[in-house]
């Protein structure tokens, strides 16, 4: 003799899709200290799993709790060119730390019983035909069971949040910078000449805009003589064009 479904039972007509089945398979037992964190990197997948977890919670198969985690997010301010200590830099890691909320799930006591009974069918993708008598008996066995996540759960959540924060905020590449040089600047003399051009550009242009400084320094590097740049960088009078031409001619004649 079959048992009829109570009209208000949550599993009366529920259908479990791929994401619900995936979460039921991944969710740890009710006694586990750490739950399964829904943190897929693909936003659309993560949102689908979040909805699936909410659906499973509504029918009593999982318990769902929030967890604060840190992720890397795009930061346009760190992506551009930076000027500091007389040099141009780019950050190795141009992203920033961003705090977000994620869902953590466990099987409920009822959900654990359902997985014992229907786990093979759920994992294989077979159609689930809920048997009212079986489901109601599983529910009765767990009716008075509840998991007190209390003190140990809070410690586990706090430990996970701290670990996530430390990993993201203090990653080895977080504060590393790499110097940016023009493609034509390779040798040591070329580097020294570039440093002079940067120094002169900084004196001429009173701005914090790294892009403007870069353009002026590059123009000076390609058009000015090293001696002229060195003199101006040292605060000496800038030679006239005639003097620059004369020095250039003398330098060329000495080469013969």
Number of structural domains found in the chain:
2
Q: Both 62 and 118 in a single domain?
A: yes
Q: Both 149 and 222 in a single domain?
A: no
| Long-range contacts, stretch 206-211, CB < 8 angstroms, 24+ apart | 208/83, 210/80, 210/81, 210/82, 210/83, 210/88, 211/80, 211/81
pLDDT band at 79 (very low <50, low <70, confident <90, very high): confident
pLDDT band at 20 (very low <50, low <70, confident <90, very high): very high
The dihedral built from the CA positions of residue 112, 114, 117 and 122, taken in this order, carries a sign that is negative
- CA–CA dist 59, 55 (Å, integer): 7
Q: What is the mean pLDDT of residues 99-104?
A: 80
Does pLDDT of 1 surpass 60? no
Q: Both 143 and 240 in a single domain?
A: no
% pLDDT > 70, the chain = 75
Does pLDDT of 249 surpass 70? no
pLDDT at 116: 93
Any domain includes 221: yes
Any domain includes 2: no
pLDDT at 28: 92
Any domain includes 6: no
pLDDT band at 124 (very low <50, low <70, confident <90, very high): very high
Place of tokens 């730390």: 97
Secondary structure of 172-186 in HEC code, one letter for each residue? CCCCCEEECCCCCCC
Looking at 50-64, 87-101, 129-143, 228-242, which range is the least confident one?
228-242
Domain boundaries, position 242? 181-254
Choose between 94 and 104: higher pLDDT.
104
Any domain includes 13: no
Q: Both 122 and 165 in a single domain?
A: yes
Q: Both 159 and 191 in a single domain?
A: no
Any domain includes 59: yes
Choose between 216 and 153: higher pLDDT.
216
pLDDT tens for each residue of 34-44: 888 888 888 89
Q: Both 143 and 96 in a single domain?
A: yes
Any domain includes 1: no
% pLDDT > 90, the chain = 25
Domain boundary among 125, 148, 169: 169
CA 98 to chain centre: 7
pTM, 2 dp: 0.56
Any domain includes 24: yes
pLDDT tens for each residue of 136-193: 888 888 877 666 665 556 666 667 766 666 666 665 555 678 888 998 899 999 999 9
Does pLDDT of 237 surpass 70? no
Q: Both 201 and 102 in a single domain?
A: no
């Amino acid at each position: 003799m079959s048992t009829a479904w109570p009209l208000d039972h949550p599993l009366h007509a529920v259908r479990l899709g791929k994401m619900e089945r995936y979460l039921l398979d991944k969710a740890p037992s009710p006694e586990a200290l750490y739950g399964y964190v829904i943190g897929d990197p693909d936003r659309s997948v993560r949102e689908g799993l979040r909805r699936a977890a909410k659906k499973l919670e509504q029918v009593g198969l999982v318990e769902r709790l929030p967890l604060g985690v840190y992720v890397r997010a795009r930061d346009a301010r760190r992506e551009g060119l930076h000027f500091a200590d007389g040099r141009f830099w780019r950050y190795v890691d141009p992203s920033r730390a961003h705090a977000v909320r994620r869902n953590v799930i466990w099987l409920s006591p009822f959900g654990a019983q359902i997985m014992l009974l229907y786990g093979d069918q759920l994992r294989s993708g077979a159609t689930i035909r809920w048997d009212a008598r079986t489901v109601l008996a599983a529910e009765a066995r767990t009716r008075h069971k509840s998991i007190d996540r209390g003190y140990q759960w809070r410690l586990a959540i706090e430990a996970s949040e701290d670990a996530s924060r430390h990993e993201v905020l203090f990653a080895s590449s977080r504060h590393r910078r790499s110097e940016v040089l023009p493609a034509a600047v390779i040798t040591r003399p070329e580097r020294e000449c570039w440093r002079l051009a940067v120094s002169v550009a900084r004196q001429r242009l009173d701005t914090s805009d790294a892009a403007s400084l870069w353009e002026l320094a590059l123009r000076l590097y390609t058009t000015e003589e090293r001696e002229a740049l060195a003199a101006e960088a040292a605060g000496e009078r800038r030679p006239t064009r005639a003097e620059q031409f004369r020095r250039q001619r003398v330098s060329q004649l000495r080469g013969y």
